[in-house]
Structure 1
Amino acid sequence: MRTANVSEHFPALPNILPELFYVPTSSDIAAAATATHAPRFLLLYGSLRETSYSRLLTLEAARLLEAMGGEVRIFDPHDLPLPDSEPDTHPKVRELRELAQWAEGMVWCSPERHGAMTGIMKAQIDWLPLSIGAVRPTQGKTLALMQVSGGSQSFNALNQLRILGRWMRMITIPNQSSVAKAFLEFDDAGRMKPSAYYDRVVDVMEELFKFTLLTRNVSGFLVDRYSERKESAEQLSLQVNQRVL
């Protein structure tokens, strides 16, 4: 890792540790190894209804990602327990966490209920910890957001999901999809009808795919933080001092 000579180049930063200060350059990204496997996506939806429009919209997203060459998994939230009501060894919790670690990008799709995302959607996200040992199952991975509404177009669930995406340290893409009066947007076979809403879903999946290709090889570099390098160095120093004593 390259470091900057803080005393020479940054005399106005006396509180920076020179040995831990890193100056990013475009060559860091250019030097990253290029993955050749298909991009991997995990899709979550937030309804258990037999006719779930968030699930139908998720299926449309899955078809688009697969048509672009992606590998897709959709998590079925049936039988997922409420957070903290069961140990994290529960089969559905293990399945969800393993899929989150496998994925390089995600799609979260929730109905809007009482002006918010559903409890089903929030429970899935709450079962995903920021870290599992040394592994961070969501950090640095891409995320696309969608919602369905029974009435007029709204962005309440999307706004909440975007906050959660940031909290989970994900690269949440700018574009998003909100489908109003979703019960009118799908045919009897469960396929989404041609519309501006459908075109927006295509836009969002294209953007997610592009962002994933751009970032999946360098996600570790993108989320590498000075504060965490400093904390790791302090912990290592403490361990060394304890051994000496």
Structure 2
Amino acid sequence: MPLTHPPRILFLYGSLRERSFSRLAAEEAARHLTAMGAEVRLFNPSGLPLPHSTDERHPKVAELRSLVEWSEGMVWSSPEIHGNLSGLMKMQIDWIPLNNGAVRPTQGKTLAVMQVSGGSQSFNAVNSLRVLGRWMRMFTIPNQSSVAKAYEQFEADGRMKDSGYRDRIIDVMEELYKFTLLVREQKDHLTDRYSERKAQDPQAGYAILHGSGAVAPATA
């Protein structure tokens, strides 16, 4: 079946360092996704204010929320700092609302998680990112990337050296691409919830699956 449009993937990264390895890993992943045919955008978090220090009309907040609504899938790439994701990474996610009027900006979208570490390989940041992805009602893919001793893994020009870490990033991007296409046509069905239908129509009672069946209330 021909694609109606290429998968739209948004990247968030969690460091503002001049040579940010979480950004370099995101850029490496983005190049491979682009080669696969995806449409890719990276959000630059520089200038993003602290959550609740201003409102959603701030230009950087508005830019982030617009990109989230544009996307069908996301990649979150964080450094591991003090054993967890960076504050900047969490700050970006905190600016993304669960609800924006009738729109749920992240619900039903795919997510891939990545982390870079300065020392030995760890999975603390990606594990926390998975928790956040679940909270944001996203479909987080099974595969993930964790790059140890990231300072050894990139060339001077920012490209990633050929290694098992690079191979894993390509694997993760391939999986994200495939899952995004699989979920695309089924998103509304997969995210349909009884509680939300009931909130819109209290008379829905115990009807499930768009009226295809009913569950009677339990009796004593």
Q: Same fold (TM over 0.5)?
A: yes
Q: Which residue does the alignment assign to 1:133?
A: 101
CA offsets 1:132-183 (integer angstroms, 9 cap, x no match): 0000110000000000000000000001000000000000000000000000
How large is the RMSD of aligned CA atoms in angstroms? Answer: 1.5
Structure 2 counterpart of 1:196, which letter?
Answer: G
Superposition deviation, residue 218 in structure 1: 1.5
Using a 3 Å threshold, how does the CA distance of structure 1 residues 226 and 236 change in structure 2: closer, same or farther?
Answer: closer
Query: Is 2:128 the partner of 1:172?
Result: no
Q: Give the 3-state SS of the residue equivalent to 1:80 in structure 2.
A: coil
Query: Is 2:40 the partner of 1:63?
Result: no
Max radius of gyration: which structure?
1
Where do 5+ consecutive residues of structure 2 fail to align? 206-220
Structure 2 counterpart of 1:88, which letter?
Answer: E
Equivalent pair of 1:34/1:217 in contact (CA under 8 Å): no
Following superposition, which runs of at least 4 residues in structure 1 exceed 6 angstroms of deviation?
none
Query: Is 2:51 the partner of 1:80?
Result: no
Q: Give the 5 Å matches for 1:80-119.
A: 80-119=48-87
Q: Give the 3-state SS of the residue equivalent to 1:174 in structure 2.
A: coil
Query: Is 2:176 the partner of 1:208?
Result: yes
Equivalent pair of 2:198/2:204 in contact (CA under 8 Å): no
Q: Which residue does the alignment assign to 1:223?
A: 191
CA distance in 1, matches of 2:4, 2:60: 30
Where do 5+ consecutive residues of structure 1 fail to align? 1-32, 238-245
Superposition deviation, residue 232 in structure 1: 1.4
Superposition deviation, residue 233 in structure 1: 1.0
CA distance in 2, matches of 1:172, 1:182: 24
CA distance in 2, matches of 1:101, 1:36: 18
Equivalent pair of 1:35/1:217 in contact (CA under 8 Å): no
TM-score by length of 2: 0.90
CA offsets 1:18-58 (integer angstroms, 9 cap, x no match): xxxxxxxxxxxxxxx98511110000000000010000000
How many residues matched?
A: 205
**Identical pairs, percent:** 67
Of 130, 136, 143, the match for 1:162: 130
